Amino acid sequence: MISTLTVIGQIAQPARFEVEIPGGHDFEVVSAGEGGLLLFREKENTHKTGDQLWEIIKLDTALNALWKKEYFIPADLTLLGRYFENDQLYLLFRSQNLSKRNLELFTLTASSGAVATTTIRNFIPFALQSFKVLNNASVLVGGYYNYRPLVILYDLEKNVPRVLPGLFNERSELIEIKINPDDTFDVILKGRTLEKVMTLFISTFDSNGNLIKKIVLDTEKSKGLLFGRGQSLDGQAQLIAGVYGKRYSEYSRGIFVANINEYGEQQIKFYNYGELKNFFRYMKAKRERRVLNRIERKKFKNKKLRFNYRLLVHELIKSDDQYILLGEAFYPKYRTVNSNSGLFNSVWTVNRGIYHSNLIFDGYRYTHAVILGFDKKGNLLWDNSFEINDVISFELEQFVQVDIERDKIVLLYVFDDAIRSKIIRGSEVLEGKEESKVRLTIETSEALEAKTKIEGLEKWYGNVFFTYGVQNIKSTGTAIPAREVFFVNKVIYE
């Protein structure tokens, strides 16, 4: 069902799609850009064929349903990952029987709904982490075998798998597989050098999986590189940006940017969090002043600035002659559960009872997003931040989305039942944090019930986003029972 929704402030929600899900099976949503959206889910198989029954719905950009189809998937397959490119939705499966190592690739053409299947021959029992498709011709599958990174390139035309060279022997961590505009791709690993310094290894391959070059970022001994994202420059030049920390620490102390020219020569610049103008803006005013005063005192005494943060770093975005990095700061939250205990498990005695204390993970609490602009030499042009300290999640995921326009940058995220927004221009704040309710009702006769689960807000195309989730709706003033629906709202920041 489609309806037109109203505008609240500068957030417009001009369309909505919903479908009843009485069985409770909601959808995954994949952006097809200006081609629309694809919704897919596994549903109850009433055909009694023994297979899984999958439903896929194609929506246009006005959230009209163009087609809806059902597909049978072998019962023993488990979905590993999904990827969309050039009108093709790729779904990668593997057998639940771990002795069967081959992968199954389902390729769905979004415009028509036609499906093709491909068996990807695999002889190595590895744990998958990353899955991408290169120019609709090859599949890149990255993961670990015996705790070592492994990337396989599978040629869809020749049906030939190839283990990429130069990666398997590195005792390191797979950070990113980045596809470049010229159909080359980079594999970024994190590991230690012979001098035991944590750094990043960047291997560039051609479309056939041949190694073109390999770069080891030459960081300082006291600054370990913890995570990085890549962006190609002119020719074979690259820009790598991410976070660095103390030599053996898991906490970051600032941002690094590495410029690598076509000959492999590199320059790395480091920016301590205390050197950023707006990093601490998420704090209340008094606390921010205390922190800034402490920074000034340390600078006056020529002492080092030490701020430790966990920062989830997202894609490095090219915008005209700038490169923009977005990250979200978080920390793990725990709660203590006290319980009565026997004598052998007791830790201490309080009053008449003996009990022990257990720490239980209670989710990741996000504090703020930081956004920075660099030139291609790695010079910091500006920085800004966005308070998000009302978000707790049991999975590390990207909450803040960004829309980069010529004269402004819009930052958005959704939590509970509201869209939070902020508009910036470099270090300047054009509009502070605003909040707009996600429009969930369809008709004035229907009211939102308490049970609502908003599952995400994602970039769609241009300045358009979409938000989606599950809600219970009940018609007011009637005896009609509540119905459970999956919804998608179109969101535009105007």
pLDDT (tens digit per residue) in 429-442: 988 888 888 887 65
Do the Cβ atoms of 199 and 217 come closer than 8 Å? yes
Q: Which residue did the predictor score with more confidence, 123 or 204?
A: 204
Confidence label for 204 from pLDDT (cuts 50, 70 and 90):
very high
> For all residues of the chain together, what is the average pLDDT?
86
Please report which helix (H) or strand (E) contains residue 293, including its range: helix 285-300
Contact (CB, 8 A) for 258 and 378: yes
pLDDT digits (tens, 9 = 90+) for 367-412: 999 999 999 999 999 999 999 977 889 989 999 999 998 889 999 9
Cα first-last separation, the chain: 25
DSSP state at residue 309:
B
Tell me: the pLDDT tens digits for 154-186? Answer: 998 888 889 998 886 667 899 999 999 888 999
Is the confidence at residue 248, as pLDDT, over 60? Answer: yes
Average pLDDT over residues 464-471: 92
Mean pLDDT across the stretch 443-449?
A: 47
Whether the pTM exceeds 0.85: the reply is yes
The residues that bridge with 431 in the sheet, in sequence order, are: 423
In angstroms, the CA 256 to CA 199 distance is: 11
Cβ proximity of 254 and 242 under 8 Å: no
**pLDDT of the residue at 436:** 87
Q: 75 — phi, psi (to 5°)?
A: -65, -30
Identify the CA nearest to 238 among candidates 218, 263, 207.
263
For the four alpha carbons of 9, 10, 11 and 12, in that order, the dihedral sign comes to positive
Residue 4 has pLDDT above 60, yes or no: no
Length reported for the chain: 494
pLDDT score recorded for residue 384: 96
Tokens (6 digits) for 393: 């999640």
